[in-house]
Amino acid sequence: MTDYSKFISEKRRSVPTPDSLVTSDGKAVFGTFDKEFKEMDLVKLNKPTKAPNCMNKLKLTLWEAAEVNLKNGILLFAVSDMAIFGKIIVVFFDKRTKQVYTWDESIPSKAAVICPNLLNGSITEGTSETNHAKFVNDFQDGKARISAELKGKCIVNNDLKNKREDCSLIFDFDLTRLSKPCVVSIPFPYSDNRPLYSQKDFFKAVGKLVINGEEMLTDEYSTAIIDDHRGFYPRKAHYDWVTTMGKCNVDGVEKYLAFNLTRNQSINQEDYNENLIWFEGDTSLLPPVTFTRSVETKDFEFGKECVWTVKDEHDMVNLKFKVYNINAMVMHALVVNIDYYITFGELEGYLRDEAGNKYTLDGMIGIGEDKSLLL
């Protein structure tokens, strides 16, 4: 059997995490790390962009997001702070009907509180008159809690007329870590001190979700991923992402499995990426991947074929992602252009771990993103 570990850069191996993501002289720490950072105050960086340091806060993007996989649906939600304004984003995909329900609300920056780290009950929270979403982070114990109550109108099925309907969504989940964390700090272009930090973790989820009065309870297959994310995106940026989480049939046994595959502006994809498979208690790294599409996401039509193909150069990743429905967040203004598509669909194909073991993912439901920025 081929030793696929030879295709993984040694810089992708986790090293002990320093206390701070920013050194005392304002330099970013880059690499892959084995646990949470205690301090992540990226505002203290020296010249992460061409703007003066006093502009760092206005250039910094912060968010905490989670995805939860239930028997009848998939939830994605996030609280973000982009300095000028904040956002609460909640998207629910009903696996039975393939309908997408979206709450997307801009809030004042001060109403979007992003945790300073993921330790000791630190809180990320977004609050408005009608909506509230919250993360309580206890990653030092492998725990987290996520909850939200949404009463404002939502968009159903990405209605092109932006028609909003009366909907309600409440959820509350306790999460327990299943695997090792994925903690990276990736150098981005246009400065030698411009990081994109992300920590992603795979969890067992216990709790319930209620949408429009229908209660959905967790079961043994219910899982979640939390993504804590902060960094300085270039003025022109693009990233692709696809993930899944749940259980997979491995040699006739149902076992917990999840993966993360991302292509972004890393200046060195081989040394700095966040691609991996999560197993219960362990992980296996994956090399850089590319995304191609049969139909551009912006041209997606419900009921018509749209397939993403995700591959690497060594046959460790060979996936098709058949998109069933999307949520589009498109903003074209004089100085801001955002094309942000959250997608839901079915996976077909396989991954290989570093030892060469093959995991067939046919039928698992995935989540993807196709996002372009011009600021």
- Report residue 346 CA to chain centroid gap: 17
Do residues 258 and 223 touch, judged by C-beta distance below 8 A?
Answer: yes
Residue-wise pLDDT tens digits, 125-148: 999 999 999 999 999 999 999 999
Residue-wise pLDDT tens digits, 165-192: 888 999 999 999 999 999 999 999 999 9
Query: How many structural domains are present in the chain?
Result: 1
Instruction: Please give the single-letter amino acid code of residue 179.
Output: S
- Report residue 257 CA to chain centroid gap: 16
Do residues 354 and 4 touch, judged by C-beta distance below 8 A?
Answer: yes
Beta bridge partners of 132: 127, 149
Where does the pLDDT of residue 162 fall: very low under 50, low under 70, confident under 90, or very high at 90 and above?
A: low
Task: Measure the CA–CA gap between 349 and 228, rounded to whole angstroms.
Answer: 28
Question: Is pLDDT above 60 for 102?
Answer: yes
Report which of 112, 57, 71 is spatially closest to residue 88, judged by C-alpha positions: 112
Where does the pLDDT of residue 335 fall: very low under 50, low under 70, confident under 90, or very high at 90 and above?
A: low
- Report residue 345 CA to chain centroid gap: 16
Question: Is pLDDT above 60 for 161?
Answer: no
DSSP state of 22: B
Q: What is the pLDDT of residue 153?
A: 83
3-state secondary structure (DSSP) of residue 302: coil
Where does the pLDDT of residue 340 fall: very low under 50, low under 70, confident under 90, or very high at 90 and above?
A: very high
Do residues 224 and 173 touch, judged by C-beta distance below 8 A?
Answer: yes
Do residues 29 and 23 touch, judged by C-beta distance below 8 A?
Answer: yes
pTM: 0.96
The mean pLDDT value for 322-340 works out to 85
Do residues 118 and 198 touch, judged by C-beta distance below 8 A?
Answer: no
Return the structure tokens found at 291. 């995304």
Do residues 118 and 135 touch, judged by C-beta distance below 8 A?
Answer: no
Q: What is the pLDDT of residue 250?
A: 87
Full domain range(s) for residue 273: 4-374
